[in-house]
Amino acid sequence: MGFSNLREFLQCLEREGELKRIPIQVSPELEITEITDRVVRAKGPALLFEKVEGSSIPVVTNLFGSEKRMALALGSRSLEQVSQRIKELLEVKMPRGLVARILHVLPKLKEISSFVPKLVKNAPCQEVVLDKADLGILPVLKCWPGDAGRFITLPLVITKDPETGSQNMGMYRMQVFDERTTGMHWHRHKGGALHMAKAAKRAEKMEVAVALGGSPATIYSATAPLPEGIDELAFAGFLQGKPVEVVKAKTLDLLVPAEAEIILEGHVDPNEPLRTEGPFGDHTGFYSPTEPYPVFHIETMTMRKEPIYPATIVGPPPKEDYFMGYATERIFLPLIQLLLPEVVDVHMPVEGVFHNLVFVAIRKQYPGHAYKVMHSLWGQGQMMFAKVIVVVDEDVDVRDPKEAWWVALNNMDPQRDVLITRGPADALDHSSPLPTFGSKMGIDGTRKWPEEGHSRPWPERIRMSEDVKRKVDELWKSLGL
Collect all residues with Cβ–Cβ distance below 8 Å to 253 and sequence separation of at least 6.
Answer: 160, 207
Q: Which of 283, 295, 276, 279 is nearest to 148 (CA)?
A: 279
pTM of the model: 0.90
List the domain boundaries for the chain.
6-310, 340-452
Nearest-angstrom CA–CA distance, 196 and 316: 31
One-letter amino acid of 308: I
Same-fold call for 6-310 versus 340-452: no
> 340-452 is classed in which CATH architecture?
3-Layer(aba) Sandwich (3.40)
Which pLDDT score, from 0 to 100, does residue 105 have?
A: 52
CATH class of the structural domain 6-310: mainly beta
Distinct helix (H) and strand (E) counts, the chain: 13, 25
Encode pLDDT of 191-235 as tens digits. 888 899 999 899 999 999 999 999 999 999 999 988 777 889 999
Which pLDDT score, from 0 to 100, does residue 94 have?
A: 47
DSSP for 244-262? PEEEE-SSSS-EEETT-SE
Nearest-angstrom CA–CA distance, 219 and 227: 18
Which pLDDT score, from 0 to 100, does residue 107 have?
A: 53
Which pLDDT score, from 0 to 100, does residue 91 have?
A: 63
Nearest-angstrom CA–CA distance, 284 and 352: 8
Collect all residues with Cβ–Cβ distance below 8 Å to 319 and sequence separation of at least 6.
Answer: 37, 40, 65, 283, 312, 313
Which pLDDT score, from 0 to 100, does residue 23 have?
A: 97
Which pLDDT score, from 0 to 100, does residue 103 have?
A: 47
Where are any strands of DSSP class E within 242-351? 245-248, 255-257, 262-268, 275-277, 280-281, 287-288, 291-293, 295-303, 309-310, 343-347
Encode pLDDT of 65-77 as tens digits. 999 999 999 989 8
**What does each of the 481 residues of the chain score in pLDDT, given as a tens digit?**
789 999 999 999 999 999 999 999 999 999 999 999 999 999 999 999 999 999 999 999 999 999 999 999 998 989 998 888 888 776 654 455 544 544 455 555 556 667 889 999 999 999 999 978 999 999 999 999 999 999 999 999 999 999 999 999 999 999 999 999 999 999 877 888 889 999 989 999 999 999 999 999 999 999 998 877 788 999 999 899 899 999 999 999 999 999 999 999 999 999 999 999 999 999 999 999 899 999 999 999 999 999 999 999 999 999 999 999 999 999 989 989 988 999 999 999 999 988 899 999 999 999 999 999 999 999 988 899 999 999 999 999 999 999 999 999 999 999 999 999 999 988 888 998 898 899 999 999 999 999 998 999 999 999 999 999 999 999 999 999 8
Pairing status of strand 309-310 against strand 128-130: unpaired
Per DSSP, helices labelled H in 122-262 are: 191-201, 216-221, 232-240
List own/partner pairs for 472-476 with CB under 8 A and 24 or more apart.
none
Q: Which residues have a catalytic role annotated?
A: 282
Which pLDDT score, from 0 to 100, does residue 109 have?
A: 56
